[in-house]
Structure 1
C-alpha cells in the first residue's frame, strides 16, 4: 500500500510542525500549509480570505497527484477581543477568528468529504479528518476570548456531524481538544494572565508539549480504529474532565 497523503494546515510552527515531523517519521507523505511563504515545500494560503481554503485544497490536490487521504485542520488564531474595544474592532476580531478557526476548517472538510465520496466510485472509500479543537470548545475561555471558544465549539459540532453523516461511506472524523500547550500562542497568554496561577488549575502541573498533541493526531490519522469515529480526545492535564 502506498504511503498516505496528509494535508496539515498551520504546519509552520507549534503543534502543526510537531505533527508534520511525526507523520513524516511514520512514512506519510505530508503536504504543509502556512499563511504566507514559509518554505519551498509549504503551500501559502490566507485562510482569512474566503477563497483561501479553495486555493489551498486545489494546490494540495495537484501536488499530491490527485489523492489526499487525510486532512488535519490545525490552523488557528488566538487574538484577544476585550469587550471594551470599539464595536467595529470587536466585530472584526470575532469575524477573523471564526473565519480562520471554524469556517476555513469547514470549507476544507467539505472539499475533503467531496473528494472521498468521488473516490468511492472507484472503490476507494476511506478518508480521515482530524480537527485540532480546544478545551475551550467544552468549558469556554477567558472574558477576552468569547470568539475563540465559539470557534472551537463550532469545530466540535462540525466534526460530530461529519462523523455521523459519512461513517457508512468510510469517512472518519476525529477531534482533539488540548488545553494549554507549550507554543508561542499559549505562552503569550500565560505570561499576560499570571502563568503560575493558571498552572495551578492543571492537576498535571504543566501544560502539554506539542509532541504530545502530535502523537494523538498521528494516532487519529493513521491508527485509530474506525469505531472511534466521532470521538473527541481530551489532552488538558485533567484541567477539564468530562
Structure 2
C-alpha cells in the first residue's frame, strides 16, 4: 500500500496486541505502512493499557487511542479475549463470575468499541472498517467447560453481520475471522490439557495455525478487501470445521 497526501497511512487500533494473534496483526499491518496503536493490560511502547473486564474500559481505551492517533481511527480490530474453563458443576458464584467475565471481555467490550467506531466513522464521513477476531467455536461449539467462550464468539459473529448490514450504505464495513486452534499461549495450554495428538488428528491439515496466518487474513480485511465483502466471515482452521 502506497501512502500519499491524498491517501494517508491508515490509523488502526488493535486490541489484545501484546502476544499471539494480536502481536502478529500489529507486525503485519506496520509492515504494510499502517500506523497502529495496540492494547494490553498495561501501558507500553505503542500499547495502551486498559482493563476490558471493567465496565467503561473499552470507552477509555477508544478515547486514549483516538488521542494518540491524532483524532482519526480508520480501522478497529477486536482481538482481545479470554479462554477460561468453568465446569458445569462449578459452584453457582464461580459459574456466574466466569460467564460474566468472558462475555464482558469477549463480547461486551468488543461491542462497546464497535459502537465507538461506528459513531466515529459516521461523524467524520468516509466510512471505516471493523475486523472482529472470533473463533470456529462460534459455529461448532467448544468443550463442555467452554460454553461461555463459544457463546461469546457466536455473539461476535452475529454482531459483525448486523453492523455490516446496518451501515454498508455509509461505507462502514465489518468482517470477522474465525480461527481454529492457533499456536498462542491459550491454545498451547488447551492442547496440552486436552491431549494434543487427539486434537491434532481432528485437523485435516495436520497442524494448528500460525499467528501470522491469521494476521495475514486480518490485514487483508483491514486494508484491502473490497466493499462487497462486508459481512464476510473467514475461516482459518485447517478444515477442522467446514461450513
Q: Does 1:21 align with 2:22?
A: no
TM-aligned CA deviation for residue 56 of structure 1: 0.2
CA distance in 2, matches of 1:152, 1:232: 12
Quick one: distance in 1 between partners of 2:82 and 2:241? Answer: 22
Structure 2 alignment gaps of length 5 or more = 1-6
The counterpart of 1:8, out of the listed 2, 8, 14, is: 14
- Alignment-derived partner of residue 235 in structure 1: 236
TM-score, structure 2 normalization: 0.97
Mapping of residues 153-232 of structure 1, within 5 Å: 153-232=154-233
1:97 partner SS = helix
RMSD: 0.6
- Summarize deviations over 1:39-93 as a string: whole Å, max 9, x none: 2321000000011001000000011111000000000000101112100001100
Task: Give the TM-score taking structure 1 as reference length.
Answer: 0.97
Cα distance in 2 for residues equivalent to 1:41 and 1:23: 13
2:85 is aligned with 1:80 = yes
TM-aligned CA deviation for residue 126 of structure 1? 1.9
Alpha-carbon distance in 2 for matches of 1:18, 1:41: 14
Residue from 57, 80, 89 that aligns with 1:52: 57
Aligned-partner Cα distance in 1 for 2:167–2:237? 29
The C-alpha deviation readout for 1:77-118, integer Å capped at 9, x for no partner, is: 001011121000011001000000000000000000000000
Gaps of 5+ in 1: none
Instruction: List per-residue Cα deviations over 1:176-206 (Å, max 9, x = no partner).
Output: 0000000010000000000100000000000
